[in-house]
């Protein structure tokens, strides 16, 4: 899908509400480090603004942009947020939470934390006032949401998620606000992985960002795991390089 259509997609989605909230995550498939999610609020006014008309064409799925392009857009998003033209927040779920809740549970936790930085879940629940005794039946059954916003999430619908949402597969390549969220999450996580490189030198976290590259595998085999490695994911990584008979021994060491 061409980039210029991201804005058009959101203009269609915003019909009937005052704003859209795009949500995306980064780091779900990595072997080390946290999963990071971001939420970005855009209004119709923003979608019709000069910035959206002129510059939104540079926004895309973060995976399809260079690191330099993402950093440039991050800086512009900061300026837009400072001017009150967008609102954004990110959430993080660490390795211990990934181990406890599994990667899907941790992803939903990070997304919830990102959204909670904008609105609590209660703000999206329908609210009704007590009707007057003489109100018509139609008036008595009318519900009004507290927040007039639609949440757009990249990927599949999230079961048991406290926020009502609409999910779009490859949403970061379809929706402007989801793509913006993907860029914020990616830049934030990349910076966190660069910080982990200083704490755990030798693994190359700043380079491969915790994903299962060949040099990451080599580093784990040479240095062993560190506390930022996900144990379940690491078994899969190591299984590609060692005798399966040794896996029980490795699991016992964890």
pLDDT at 232: 82
Q: Tell which wins on pLDDT, 138 or 48.
A: 48
CA–CA separation, 33 and 62 (whole Å): 18
CB within 8 Å of 43: residues ≥ 6 apart: 14, 18, 19
Tell me the Ramachandran region of residue 160: left when phi exceeds 0, alpha when psi lies from -120 to 50, beta otherwise: left
pLDDT at residue 252 is higher than 50: no
Is residue 42 classed as helix, strand or coil in its secondary structure? strand
Euclidean distance between CA atoms 164 and 78, whole angstroms: 27
CA dihedral 158, 162, 167, 169 (to 10 degrees): -40
Task: Give the DSSP H/E element, type plus range, for residue 139.
Answer: helix 137-140
- In angstroms, the Cα distances linking 58 to 65, 129, 185 are 9, 45, 17
CA 73/CA 172 separation, integer angstroms: 15
> Using CA atoms, how far apart are residues 41 and 90, in angstroms rounded to an integer?
12
- Does the pLDDT value for residue 144 go beyond 90? no
| This model's pTM is above 0.75 | yes
Structural domains for the chain: 4-128+136-195 (3.30.420.10), 201-253 (no CATH)
What is the pLDDT averaged over residues 196-222? 94
Quick one: pLDDT at residue 234? 77
């Amino acid at each position: 899908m061409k980039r210029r259509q991201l804005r058009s997609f959101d203009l269609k989605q915003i019909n009937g509400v005052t704003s859209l909230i795009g949500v995306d995550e980064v780091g779900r498939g990595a072997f080390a480090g946290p999963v990071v999610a971001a939420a970005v609020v855009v209004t119709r006014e923003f979608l019709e603004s000069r910035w959206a008309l002129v510059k939104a064409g540079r926004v895309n799925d973060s995976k399809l942009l260079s690191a330099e392009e993402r950093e440039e857009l991050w800086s512009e998003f900061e300026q837009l947020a400072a001017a009150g033209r967008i609102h954004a927040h990110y959430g993080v779920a660490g390795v211990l939470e990934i181990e406890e809740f599994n990667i899907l549970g941790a992803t939903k936790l990070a997304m919830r934390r990102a959204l909670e930085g904008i609105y609590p879940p209660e703000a999206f629940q329908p609210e009704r006032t007590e009707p007057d005794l003489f109100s018509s039946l139609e008036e008595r059954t009318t519900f009004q949401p507290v927040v007039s916003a639609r949440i757009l999430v990249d990927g599949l619908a999230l079961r048991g998620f406290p926020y009502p949402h609409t999910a779009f597969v490859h949403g970061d390549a379809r929706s402007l606000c989801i793509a913006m969220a993907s860029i914020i999450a990616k830049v934030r996580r990349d910076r966190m992985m660069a910080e982990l490189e200083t704490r755990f030198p030798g693994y190359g976290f700043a380079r491969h960002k915790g994903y299962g590259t060949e040099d990451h595998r080599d580093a784990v085999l040479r240095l062993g795991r560190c506390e930022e490695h996900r144990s379940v994911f690491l078994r899969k990584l190591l299984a590609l390089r060692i005798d399966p008979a040794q896996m029980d021994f490795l699991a016992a060491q964890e």
